[in-house]
Chain A
Amino acid sequence: KQEVTQIPAALSVPEGENLVLNCSFTDSAIYNLQWFRQDPGKGLTSLLLIQSSQREQTSGRLNASLDKSSGRSTLYIAASQPGDSATYLCAPGGSGTYKYIFGTGTRLKVLA
């Protein structure tokens, strides 16, 4: 059974810092992994999708890496801004089942 852990659970930083959010998963048999952002009381916004054959994906100030064999993914946020404040969720998609199992999330607060 896939288990997903995200570290840290919460993070508060001053504006402008570069951040690394960590995600680890127990079953490496995945077909892709997505990082999402969730604002309070809202749905999910997909940030980055990494296929299992890829090592990283970039979008603007965001960069996500994937090490499938070790069951790890990281989300790097450059030059953080107050608008980045949200909960960040990672979700590996199971190979064969195509189900997403969500991590516990990292609650990020960027202070102006």
Chain B
Amino acid sequence: GAVVSQHPSRVICKSGTSVKIECRSLDFQATTMFWYRQFPKQSLMLMATSNEGSKATYEQGVEKDKFLINHASLTLSTLTVTSAHPEDSSFYICSASRLAGGDTQYFGPGTRLTVL
């Protein structure tokens, strides 16, 4: 149990376009989902925390208008990278937890975004 999927696993897009990444909890309801990004050979950095039905809380330095997060249901959160640029190329990973806090986070397999 506690499986999290991400779609797509890999995406290549042109500079200036928007890209949507989906994060789904397949066999449980996720009250809270987290979005991370990872640059090559670096560790994961938390971007934002989203609770179902509420606005996402962004970490310092993360542009909320650039990275739009929607958590409209208990099994789906989406991250939209708007007007993507080459510096947005990264590995994006989501995680999900059943409770609003204090619960184990289950991680998705990640999405590799390359912006040309």
Of chain A, the residue at the smallest CB distance from B105 is A100
Q: Which residues of A contact B112 (CB under 8 A)?
A: 41
Contact size range, A: 20 to 34
Q: By the criterion CB–CB under 8 Å, are B110 and A102 in contact?
A: no
Asked if A101 is at the interface of the complex by the 8 Å CB criterion, the answer is yes
Say whether, besides A100-B34, A102-B44, A43 and B104 are in contact (CB < 8 Å). Answer: no
Of chain A, the residue at the smallest CB distance from B4 is A43
CB proximity to A under 8 Å, residues B1-58: 6, 32, 34, 36, 42-46, 49
* Residue from B106, B110, B112 whose CB has the most chain A CB atoms within 10 Å: B110
A33 and B108 alpha carbons, distance in the complex (Å): 18
Instruction: Show the binding face of A for B, using Cβ within 8 Å.
Output: 31-32, 34, 36, 41-44, 46, 49, 89, 91, 93, 96-105
Of chain A, the residue at the smallest CB distance from B108 is A43
Give me 6 A-to-B residue pairs in the complex whose CB atoms sit less than 8 angstroms apart, sorted by A's number.
A41-B112, A43-B108, A44-B107, A100-B95, A100-B105, A103-B43
A97 and B97 alpha carbons, distance in the complex (Å): 13
Q: By the criterion CB–CB under 8 Å, are A49 and B44 in contact?
A: no
- 12 A-B pairs besides A101-B46, A102-B43 with CB distance below 8 A are A36-B107, A43-B93, A43-B108, A43-B110, A49-B104, A97-B101, A98-B32, A98-B97, A98-B103, A100-B34, A102-B45, A103-B43
Say whether, besides A42-B109, A43-B93, A44-B107, A98 and B46 are in contact (CB < 8 Å). Answer: no
Q: Which residues of A contact B49 (CB under 8 A)?
A: 99
A32 and B34 alpha carbons, distance in the complex (Å): 17
A28 and B93 alpha carbons, distance in the complex (Å): 26
Q: By the criterion CB–CB under 8 Å, are A42 and B110 in contact?
A: yes
Q: By the criterion CB–CB under 8 Å, are A104 and B46 in contact?
A: no
Asked if B102 is at the interface of the complex by the 8 Å CB criterion, the answer is yes
Q: By the criterion CB–CB under 8 Å, are B102 and A31 in contact?
A: yes
Q: By the criterion CB–CB under 8 Å, are A105 and B43 in contact?
A: yes
A105 and B42 alpha carbons, distance in the complex (Å): 8
Q: Which residues of B contact A36 (CB under 8 A)?
A: 107
Q: Which residues of B contact A101 (CB under 8 A)?
A: 46
Q: Which residues of A contact B97 (CB under 8 A)?
A: 98
